[in-house]
Structure 1
Amino acid sequence: MIQLNIFEEENKVEGQLVHQAVSNNNDRLLNELLSEEKYRKCINCRSGWGIPGTPLRMAASKGHLRCVQVLLAHGAEVDCLDVKAQTPLFRAVCGKYLNCVLALLRAGANPNGSLYNNCSPVLTAAREGDGEILKQLLKHGAEVNSRSKILLFTSSTGVSSGPLYLSAVYGHFDCFKVLLLYGADPNYNCTDPKLLPKIKQPKTVLEMCLRHGCGVEYIQLLIDFGANVYLPTLIIEKSTKQNEAVELLLQERGNACGLLINFSLHIFFSVLLTLDKEL
């Protein structure tokens, strides 16, 4: 770390010029600078007020696609972390810059972001309702279910803050559907054997949808994708306005043919997903 600070201090002027070119979205000047060794040595240097970051982080945060492309072409580290363990891809997702997201993914960026960041690109896209970015992340191999992260094993919200939960609670039905199409667990949105046992009373996605007043279409889709309708502890309060959704759930519990229908639909959607990936 000391060596890194000394290096960045010695190349402060060159680094500032590179960062300034990115800040001004001047990709031509940036390309000229990086054609010289003394500037190219600063391509992964961190600078700036607030949260110091690399030029690639700045370009991704601002949605400066051409600068992102120039930096990647000159060898910028695609998954460089800032002090908050955020990658350039994570910043691009936060800004909803689809083109930058695609450029970074094609350059090999980890679609899951950093293990050291409590959040992830998929969680962010699901929460913000950006269906196309979410789809691209999943196409490039992002984890669709909750996963354990360092220092999160004792979290009481790990399961109930998965992408499927977030898309439902924030009312992003398109994202909800995309996640299920790409294999999200319809019961707990978690298949991690280390994480799920840590939660004393994990709430199913069905129960969360009922508690948060999600529309009947959410319940129907979960049932279509094979959610276990016998898992929720159904406590209907007087204030609940989910009569239609509750009736659907109770009806499904009594439907002896439900499992066979669900299995057929699951195969159908799996075929659709395979065809979508091949296109």
Structure 2
Amino acid sequence: MLRLRTSAEEESCCEISQLRQAVLQNDDRLLDEMLCQEVYKKVINCRGGWGVAGTPLHAAVSKGHFSCLQVLLGHGALVDCVDVKAQTPLFAAVRGKYLDCVLALLGAGANPNGNASNNCSPVLTAAREGDVEILKQLLKRGAEVNSRSKVLLWTSSARVSSGPLYLAAVYGHMECFELLLLYGADPDYNCTDAKLLSSIKQPKTVLEMCLRHGCGVEYIQLLIDFGANVYLPTLIIEKSTKQNEAVELLLQERGNPKALTSQCRLSVRRYLKKIDKIQCIDQLDMPTSLINFLQHRLVPVTLL
């Protein structure tokens, strides 16, 4: 929700504007000198001026001005302050694809999920933009891999939850799609909010939406490998070469029970996700071959 400026912000518009100008000019030395003065330091977390949505920290990360970001954090800027849309500086850094700023904010303790009042999240934005490295850093620090969006999308005459897995698929970002599954994304609805799902008359699975959007067979195979329910989709789709191949793969899977080893892997991964340890698989005290198996890594066989 929009928030009216406080009286302190009204009275300090001049100082806030000057701080913002130094940031936009990427003048970290001037910014540091200004913040050594109490008159500027007291407005470091304020928004001010008509049309100004965020704080000086928002301005710094929105332009990728890393040195100014460091100065602001060094002088006590709040890492999770919000703009008028409840977007944190981390959200702005992810949207701008500034990896160095993302790492600095996360290192300073930024919430990887952004602010709960915002309809979107850093993970959703990274998945939509296909920025796999930023997405990886967010997930490594515990960002929610299932839907945080409060918005439902209308697509192909179907109402669906706009989760990160869905966005990665429809925008064709295979690396992000696989990464989300590795970090425990729900392969069916990519949403664990029962209230949100119940508001949809006939919720569509990620698998069904991949079929509807003509995603490649590799997307369908990944969903199958990560335990998607292959009996959920209703196979009423338009005909195309890609879809025919995908449907053939799906029907083949329906007719063949999953191997016991695959079932075991899925069970272990589900438990690790439940105890919030799925990002720690590589650190488990077990043989490398088992870790590779849990992480769906194909290790080439060495011929003797």
Task: Tell me the TM-score normalized by structure 1.
Answer: 0.89
Q: Secondary structure at the match of 1:15?
A: helix
Q: Post-superposition shift, 1:156? A: 6.3
1:172 is the counterpart of 2:173:
yes
Contact 1:164 1:189 (C-alpha < 8 Å) held by counterparts: yes
Question: Match for 1:222: what amino acid?
Answer: L
Taking a change above 3 Å as real, the CA distance of residues 276 and 17 of structure 1, as seen in their structure-2 partners, is: farther
Taking a change above 3 Å as real, the CA distance of residues 96 and 247 of structure 1, as seen in their structure-2 partners, is: same
Query: Which residue of 1 is the match for residue 99 of structure 2?
Result: 98
Contact 1:224 1:265 (C-alpha < 8 Å) held by counterparts: no
Mapping of residues 35-54 of structure 1, within 5 Å? 35-48=36-49, 50-54=51-55
Using the TM superposition, name which of 112-121 and 225-234 deviates more.
112-121
Q: Secondary structure at the match of 1:194?
A: helix
Using the TM superposition, name which of 265-274 and 7-16 deviates more.
265-274
Contact 2:10 2:48 (C-alpha < 8 Å) held by counterparts: no
Percentage identity across paired residues of the two chains: 71
Query: Which residue of 2 is the match for residue 221 of structure 1?
Result: 222
Measure the CA separation in 1 of the matches of 2:15 and 2:37: 10
Question: Match for 1:114: what amino acid?
Answer: N
Q: Post-superposition shift, 1:82? A: 1.2
Structure 2 gap segments, 5+ residues each = 285-304
Query: Which residue of 2 is the match for residue 266 of structure 1?
Result: 266
Contact 2:81 2:88 (C-alpha < 8 Å) held by counterparts: yes
Taking a change above 3 Å as real, the CA distance of residues 44 and 109 of structure 1, as seen in their structure-2 partners, is: same
Q: Post-superposition shift, 1:108? A: 1.5
Contact 1:96 1:130 (C-alpha < 8 Å) held by counterparts: yes
CA distances 1:169-213 after superposition (whole Å, capped 9, x unpaired): 000000000100000000110112222111111111111111101
Measure the CA separation in 1 of the matches of 2:77 and 2:283: 29
Q: Post-superposition shift, 1:6? A: 2.6
Contact 1:18 1:33 (C-alpha < 8 Å) held by counterparts: yes
Contact 2:123 2:143 (C-alpha < 8 Å) held by counterparts: yes
Q: Post-superposition shift, 1:52? A: 2.7
Query: Which residue of 1 is the match for residue 233 of structure 2?
Result: 232
Query: Which residue of 2 is the match for residue 25 of structure 1?
Result: 26
Q: Post-superposition shift, 1:251? A: 0.3
Aligned pair count reads 272
Q: Post-superposition shift, 1:69? A: 1.2
Taking a change above 3 Å as real, the CA distance of residues 148 and 161 of structure 1, as seen in their structure-2 partners, is: closer
Q: Post-superposition shift, 1:264? A: 4.0
Query: Which residue of 2 is the match for residue 136 of structure 1?
Result: 137
Question: Match for 1:119: what amino acid?
Answer: C
Task: Tell me the TM-score normalized by structure 2.
Answer: 0.82
Query: Which residue of 2 is the match for residue 244 of structure 1?
Result: 245
Question: Match for 1:35: what amino acid?
Answer: C
Q: Post-superposition shift, 1:241? A: 4.0
